[in-house]
Each structure stands twice: as C-alpha cells, then as structure tokens.
Amino acid sequence: MSEAATQISPSKNLTIKEFNEDIRQGKIEGYTCENCGHKQIDINEFCSSCQSPKLRKLEFSSEGKVVTYTIQLVAPEQFINEVPYAWVIVELDEGPRITGWIPFISKSSELPVGQRVRFKKSYLPGIVFEKI
C-alpha cells in the first residue's frame, strides 16, 4: 500500500446539521465533484458519479420545476397539522434534484407536473417550496 493511501483526512463534506441550518437560513447546499463536475444534494463522502473523494460544498439556486409529487392526506407525526400538502421532487435549474413540500395543495389541478417552484425560507419543518 502506498503512503498516500494510508492517510486518513477528516471529512470536509456537508453534514446533516449544516444542511439543515442552511435550509433554515434560506440556502440549499449540496456538493460538486472537483473530479467530474457532478452536482448532487446529498450527504456523501465519495462522488455518486465517479467515486472521487474530492467533493466541494456548493450552494444551489432556489428555483426549479416539479418532477413528480403526491398530495398527503395522512401524514407522519411532524406534519399532521399541515395536511393537505404536496410532497414534491424538484429538479433545480442547475440540474440536481431535491425534495420538499408545498403547503395548502389539496387537488392535483393545483400542481401540474413541470410547475415552476421556488425554495422558500421558512420556520416550518423540512424544505418548503412555493409556486412561482
């Protein structure tokens, strides 16, 4: 084994705590890979595309479009007072996808797939989006 391969460095990647604090501050953070340029919003030590460890934190823009969604009428504990709402998968304009929710959506006619949405700084739990 080479000397370099035995060196273990502390992680410089995004932690869940930082991710959640950034969300509360109105910022979406993920990573970009310095080797292949892949961008993803996730908690990783290696790039999902090329497995390089050279990941750099990156703040993403807040706008994108809805890829798919569901309207929750039965919700987990933290959200029981929020129903009905839409849980959404959003493709951000830079490419990576993220999940979140949009309050007060009760009918599918209110949220066509492809709808433009914007991430919104909020006191509510999770990652909140609003229609543009």
Partner 1 sequence: MKNVYVLSAAMSKYGKSPLSARELALEASRKAIEKAGITPSDVQGGFVANAFSLSEKQGHLGPIVMSGLGIPDVPASTIESACSSGASAIREAWINILAGIYDCMLVVGVERVSQLDTITATTYFSFGSDYVFEGACGASFPGLYGSIARAHMTKYGTREEELASVAVKNHDNALKNPNAHLHKKITIDDVMKSPVVASPLKLYDACPFSDGAAAAIICSEEFLKRLNGGKPEGVIKILASGRAGGTGALHQRPDLTTLKAAVLAGREAFKMASLTPKDIDFAEVHDCFTIAELVALEDLGFFPRGEAAKATLEGRTTLKGEIPINPSGGLKAKGHPVGATGVGQVVEVYEQLNHKAGERQVSDARIALTHNVGATGGSCGVHIFSSFD
| Contact between 68 and 111 (Cβ < 8 Å) | no
Smallest separation (angstroms) from partner 1 to the CB of 54? 19
Q: How far is the CB of 95 from partner 1 (least distance, A)?
A: 11
Beta-carbon contacts of residue 24 (< 8 Å; ≥ 6 apart): 121
Q: What's the min distance (Å) between Cβ of 116 and partner 1?
A: 16
Closer of 61 and 68 to partner 1 (Cβ): 68
Q: Say how far apart CA 26 and CA 30 lie, in whole Å.
A: 13
Number of Cβ within 10 Å of residue 130's Cβ equals 13
- Sign of the torsion formed by the C-alpha atoms of 81, 86, 90 and 93: negative
- CB closer to partner 1 out of 3 and 18: 18
Q: Note the residues at the interface with partner 1 (CB under 8 A).
A: 16, 19-20, 40-43, 48, 67-80, 82, 85, 87-90, 97-101, 108, 113, 125-127
Q: Which is nearer to partner 1, 4 or 33 (CB)?
A: 33
In whole angstroms, the minimum distance from the beta carbon of 28 to partner 1 comes to: 12
> Is residue 84 reached through a cis peptide bond, with omega within 30 degrees of 0 on the bond before it?
yes
* CB closer to partner 1, 83 vs 132: 83
